[in-house]
Amino acid sequence: MRAFLESGQRGLAAAQRILESGQHRVPREAVRLLAPIEDPEKVICVGLNYRDHCLEQDVKIPKEPIIFSKFPSTIIGPFDDIMHPEESSEVDWEVELAAIIGKRGRRIEESSALEHIVGFTVANDVSARDWQMRNGRQWLLGKTFDTFCPLGPALVTKDAVADVHNLSIRCSVNGRLMQDSSTSQLIFRLPKLIAWVSRFVTLVPGDILLTGTPAGVGFFQKPPVFLKRGDEVRCEIEELGTICNKVV
């Protein structure tokens, strides 16, 4: 997929011609969907980027984007299992809109930032809160256990999305709706995020940008609720699809 994205518009045009031909198709039940991108150079994440998520924590709206990362080894497919680590007893869910970079850039202007995005997908920024919030407040460790980034079910090209900043976004656990919001709640929208991040690092095709999660995570429930083995987590974003992962 990274090689395909590096081919730019030429590759997208070729894919469109193949799609329109009606050929080279296989039955959906005959395949297992993997993550749209399994080996990105970077997985960049944004914290505290939904107004309702800030309100549920009673924290101030950030004045600048809060950036952290996950390792690519966290990535699993849209219907693969999340492995509950023995080292944590506070594993949490976070449905997120993920933007996929399709064009290389550094110090990108906000006015041209969307040109560097090829499309979007659904992500779950699974988090070990005991490592993120306590144990030295090690955000990286809390966010980057293996299997902590389910991704999919497909890379939806940006031309197929009416308004990425006005999509419903939801997460349910064992059929119980926990997060129910809209990407209109984003504090820093994609042009701002792309411009901000590219001040520090070069963005390349295949890089994944997780844009933050809305209110309703388990840590801020009263009392807190955490994932246990056997739970099923379903994340969905309007126009992008649904991922569903069992905790084992």
Range name among 72-81, 109-118, 130-139 with the lowest pLDDT average: 130-139
pLDDT at 24: 87
33-247 topology per CATH: Fumarylacetoacetate hydrolase; domain 2 (3.90.850)
Residue 86 to residues 74, 104, 128, 130, Cα–Cα distance (Å): 16, 39, 11, 12
Sequence spans of domains, the chain? 33-247
3-class SS string, 138-156: CHHHHHCCCCCEEEEEEEE
Residue 226, pLDDT > 90, answer yes
Average pLDDT, integer, range 16-39: 93
Task: Please write the tens of the pLDDT for every residue from 188-218.
Answer: 999 999 999 999 999 999 999 999 999 999 9
Write the single-letter amino acid at 213.
T
pLDDT band at 134 (very low <50, low <70, confident <90, very high): confident
pLDDT-above-70 percentage for the chain: 100
Give the rounded distance of the alpha carbon of 118 from its chain centre.
Answer: 14
What's the token pair of residue 213? 């999660």
Task: Please write the tens of the pLDDT for every residue from 150-187.
Answer: 999 999 999 999 999 999 999 999 999 999 999 999 99
pTM of the model: 0.96
Query: How many alpha carbons fall within 13 Å on the CB side of residue 95?
Result: 30
Q: Residue 134: name the closest of 82, 88, 68 by CA.
A: 88
Three-state secondary structure call for residue 74: helix
Q: Residue 97: name the closest of 32, 216, 184 by CA.
A: 184
CA distance linking residue 237 with residue 231, whole number of Å: 20
